[in-house]
Amino acid sequence: MAEYSVFSLIREGLTGHKGWIRAWRDPEPKASYDVVIIGGGGHGLATAYYLARNHGIANVAVVEKGWIGGGNVGRNTTIVRSNYMLDGNAHFYEHSLKLWEGLSRDLNYNVMFSQRGVLNLAHSDGQMDAYARRGNMMRLNGIDAELLDREGVRRLYPHLDYSTDARWPIYGGLLQPRGGTARHDAVAWGLARGADRRGVDILQNCEVIGFERDGDRITGVKTSRGTIGCGRVGMAVAGNTSRVASMLGWTLPIESHVLQAFVTEPLKPLIDGVVTYGAGHFYISQSDKGGLVLGGDIDFHNSYAQRGNLPVVENVMANGLAMMPNLARVRILRSWGGIMDMSMDGSPIISKTPFDNLYLNAGWCYGGFKATPGSGYAFAHTIAHDAPHETNRAMGLDRFETGHLLDEGGKGPTPKLH
Amino acid sequence: MILITCPHCGPRDQDEFSYAGDATKTRPADPASATAAEWHSYVYLRDNPAGPHLEFWHHIHGCRRFVKVLRDVTTHEVLACGGPDDPLETPR
């Protein structure tokens, strides 16, 4: 039973669930493919899916060193939003959000995208002014944004600290009602299934160990499962971009940093949407299972270890308690780390490269999950047409040479601050 | 927790420091004659190795001097510490 529907569920329910087939195959690598995508995370799988769906390019392999969805697509806090200010980012993320809105139907797979709203709290008059400006710029770009006053925030989230002795009183907030969360594992699985059904080979436990080159042309990808010939190569290995690039003697404007995330014991419904603290760096939502999912800053130093250190744990919890003191007795069940491609201007790279037939998808900083469908859509277009899609025109690698940076936060070339 | 041995203050907790990034990049010696490519490399490009990484930490809550650290970024283990001009080697 390939198609998922209420009818197939009833039919299988009446016949002992013996007809379900595996969601994607486990094929042997072919000698060559039109396109080899390196990295079986959300972005790599989405790229393969849209190559087949939008461009009719189905002779595609996705090579993944571990298992699909074992990297950052399974290690994030599942937040989806498009509350960006700069044109080069705003239109890209809004396009991505629109793809999210139809993704479950498009994939015939429930990614549990829930538009429960993303609220950024403000804690001063100055911050309210800044949010009014950001919200206005979003609305001018056709993105939904609502500025809430203190009472507006209290109506949505009555459990925050509104007391007179709050260290940073809540003045209001900026709400994007169409933002929300999605089930991250389902996104990887749904995209893998969608790509596989269109003919894409997903090759797991297939680690890239080098490249075969003819000058600036990549002729083959050497993997732990043999050398695979390639027409074009797309690299979508955020977190490890510099490691794969170093196999080509290629240096990039990226540092790898570790970002921690946490989930608590399951609770009754407490937090409807996504809330971020404005006087520190903290974000929280509640999963459908009831666990509070939360995170904060990166660890502020280069790292390839998928685990973090205690100072940031303490800082995240302190921020959370300042915003919601009633979290004090909630127990943290799990914490983990993911490796972020921190780019030099805080924005991603979806680009052609100095190599003839190699394309780069990298530099997602904290924000890769929400970009998953938009990134795959734009990267597939870039690979298929050897030219950027209209949504990733500002995300070229050459912007660091020409000075056309996309620095949303105005932080400069300091990756840890983005 | 990362323990950094400041050459001036001794072993101190990472919380006393602000990370200042890759210590292998050198500012072009003559800014006026440096090419755009040299500036691009200095300002933006990073080797970002997975393994021993030479980096600066600024002892902002101590002596306020810069400390050079060789640290394995796959384990967070500090391999060597010294002053900004010290050539730090990977211990075998």
Domains present along chain A, CATH in parentheses:
25-109+184-253+345-417 (3.50.50.60), 118-179+255-343 (3.30.9.10)
Q: Virtual CA dihedral for A167, A168, A170, A173, nearest 10 degrees?
A: -150
Question: Band of the pLDDT at B91, cuts 50, 70, 90?
Answer: low
**Predicted pLDDT of residue B90:** 59
How much is the pTM? 0.96
pLDDT tens-place string over residues B9-25: 999 999 999 999 999 99
Nearest Cα of chain A lies from the Cα of B79 at a distance, in angstroms, of: 14
Are A252 and B43 in contact (CB < 8 Å)? no
Structure tokens at A139: 């609305």
* CB neighbourhood size of A65 (10 A): 20
The most distant pair of C-alpha atoms in chain B lies apart, rounded to whole Å, by 43
Asked if the ipTM is above 0.90, the reply is yes
* Of the partner residues B45, B47, B73, the one whose CB lies closest to the CB of residue A303: B73
Nearest Cα of chain A lies from the Cα of B4 at a distance, in angstroms, of: 13
Are A311 and B19 in contact (CB < 8 Å)? no
pLDDT under 70 in chain A at which residues? 1
**Predicted pLDDT of residue A127:** 97
Domain ranges, residue B77: 3-26+39-82
**Of chain B residues 54-83, which have a CB less than 8 A from chain A?**
55, 71, 73-76
Structure tokens at A16: 């002992």
Which residues from B are below 8 Å from A243, CB to CB?
50
Look at residues B77, B85, B91, B86 and name the one whose alpha carbon lies nearest to residue B1: B77
Are B76 and A246 in contact (CB < 8 Å)? no
* Of the partner residues B15, B18, B53, the one whose CB lies closest to the CB of residue A302: B53
Mutate to test the interface with B, among A247, A304, A313 (most CBs of B within 10 A): A304
* Of the partner residues B1, B21, B45, the one whose CB lies closest to the CB of residue A310: B1
The number of folded domains in chain B is 1
List C-alpha distances in Å: A29 to A38, A221, A223, A393.
13, 12, 10, 33
Tell whether A314 is within 8 A of chain B (Cβ).
no
Spatial distance between the Cα atoms of B10 and B15, rounded to a whole number of angstroms: 14
Spatial distance between the Cα atoms of A321 and A327, rounded to a whole number of angstroms: 6
Show Cβ contacts of residue A99 under 8 Å, excluding neighbours closer than 6 positions.
A106, A373, A374, A377
User: Does residue B8 lie in a domain region?
Assistant: yes
- Specify burial of residue B82 (Cβ count, 10 A radius: 0-12, 13-18, 19+): middle
**Predicted pLDDT of residue A164:** 86
What CATH number should be reported for the domain holding residue B68? 3.30.2270.10
Amino acid at A77: T
